[in-house]
Amino acid sequence: MSGRVVTITELAQKAGVSTTTVSIVLNRKPQARRVSENTRKRIWELAESLSYRPNRLALAMQRQSTGIIGFVCGDSATPYYAELTEQLANEANRRGCQLLMTPTVWDTRREIDTMEMLLTRAVDGVIMCSQAFENCSESTERIKRAYHGVVPLVTINAESVDISTVQYDYEPGMAELFEYLRQNGIRSVVLLDDPEFPPKRQVFSRLAGEFGLEPRLVDFSFRDMETLKRAAERIFADRPDAVLATSDLTAMHFCSCAGQAGIRIPEDLSIAVIDCSQLSSLYNPPLSGIRVDPALFIGEVFDELERKINGIPEIRTIRVPSRLEIRNSIKVKL
């Protein structure tokens, strides 16, 4: 059947089942559990071999749905956000929809403009990774009102009223890290952080003392990476036992500064990362870090968005626990 589009009717005839069964299986509907494993496998194999693609226009008209999910995010290039975007796109594809990514370079005005644009596009829902709604203004309140009851919206790692959000729970992973540091004789630890994003420092400040550590905050600004170099110089002068960086990008710049200053990691200074991506394992040395299972986290994001799409209005805050991944950037007590 090469050279033309295969219809769902033809696919069903080949599989020896009804078009309804094919639709249930390929769209991964809950009823698919009632279809035998052999039948599900046969349908998927035939769909693959015949290069079957659903008629999105027909589906959109039937379901009043386009199968498109908007994703508004300030960044798509740094390791953490690149991995987040990839996971979102993969999960969207697994659930039979497409991700429309719109980076905004953390510009609140661009984020608001993008949200307004998506209101005029045929999207089934929007996922937003931004702190824009945390700073209430006439524009943000207007956008929230515009989305209410019109386009389902879920935010990632944000604190905002009247919007469901899925967040990292930093506490379990940070508690594991502090216990590991204590076990290895590390007593003083610096959080290298941008104060514009407070959730990580709040957990750090609260938990460090409970584990007998001497916590210290050293600030820099993501908007001016020269401030990170100056922050690194202050840390090298004070020489704590360990540094906790708030992102892979922060750790990458800090490790570069350490190398230029002749400071070895972990022999002279231990380092760990919050929100470490898979690329953390490729650093030299591979970086220990606090991480949330991306598949679990993104699954929760899409589950919450689907609840909204299905008309469930309840506003929820869902917290996904973090864990510690130990690699080679923390000096081990012999």
Residue 253 covered by a domain:
yes
Q: Which of 12, 199, 166, 8 is nearest to 91 (CA)?
A: 166
Domain containing residue 138: 66-162
Residue 325 covered by a domain:
no
Residue 316 covered by a domain:
no
Mean pLDDT, range 325-332, rounded to an integer: 96
Mean pLDDT for the chain? 88
**Number of folded domains in the chain?**
3
CATH code, domain with 36: 1.10.260.40
Residue 321 covered by a domain:
no
pTM of the model: 0.78
Same-domain pairing of 158 and 176:
no
CB 333 within 8 A of CB 187: no
Cβ contacts of 9 within 8 Å, gap of 6 or more:
19
Residue 184 covered by a domain:
yes
Instruction: Examine the pLDDT at 303 and tell me if it is beyond 50.
Output: yes
Lowest mean pLDDT among 15-29, 199-213, 296-310, 318-332: 15-29
Same-domain pairing of 24 and 110:
no
What's the helix, strand, coil split of the chain in %, to 5?
45, 20, 35
CB 273 within 8 A of CB 289: yes
Lowest mean pLDDT among 67-71, 105-109, 265-269, 293-297: 105-109
d(C-alpha 108, C-alpha 100), whole Å: 19
User: pLDDT digit string (tens) for 133-176?
Assistant: 877 678 888 888 888 878 899 999 988 778 999 999 999 999 99
Mean pLDDT, range 205-210, rounded to an integer: 93
Confidence label for 9 from pLDDT (cuts 50, 70 and 90): confident
Same-domain pairing of 222 and 262:
yes
Residue 98 covered by a domain:
yes
- State which of 162, 178, 211 marks the end of a domain: 162
Same-domain pairing of 182 and 282:
yes
Confidence label for 61 from pLDDT (cuts 50, 70 and 90): very low
pLDDT of residue 32: 79
Same-domain pairing of 178 and 283:
yes
Same-domain pairing of 148 and 247:
no
pLDDT of residue 57: 42
pLDDT of residue 54: 62
Mean pLDDT, range 189-206, rounded to an integer: 92
Provide φ and ψ at 69, rounded to 5°.
-115, 125
Instruction: Examine the pLDDT at 320 and tell me if it is beyond 60.
Output: yes
pLDDT of residue 318: 96
d(C-alpha 153, C-alpha 111), whole Å: 14
Confidence label for 19 from pLDDT (cuts 50, 70 and 90): confident
Same-domain pairing of 71 and 136:
yes
User: What pairing do the DSSP bridges indicate for beta strands 125-129 and 164-169?
Assistant: unpaired
- State which of 146, 162, 178 marks the end of a domain: 162
Mean pLDDT, range 108-119, rounded to an integer: 89
Same-domain pairing of 242 and 271:
yes
Same-domain pairing of 177 and 118:
no
Mean pLDDT, range 263-274, rounded to an integer: 96
CB 111 within 8 A of CB 311: no
Same-domain pairing of 98 and 196:
no
User: pLDDT digit string (tens) for 221-257?
Assistant: 988 989 999 999 999 999 999 999 999 999 999 999 9
Which residue did the predictor score with more confidence, 27 or 97?
97
CATH code, domain with 236: 3.40.50.2300
d(C-alpha 218, C-alpha 332), whole Å: 24
Same-domain pairing of 181 and 270:
yes
Confidence label for 328 from pLDDT (cuts 50, 70 and 90): very high
User: pLDDT digit string (tens) for 173-182?
Assistant: 999 999 999 9
Same-domain pairing of 275 and 180:
yes
Confidence label for 60 from pLDDT (cuts 50, 70 and 90): very low
Residue 314 covered by a domain:
no
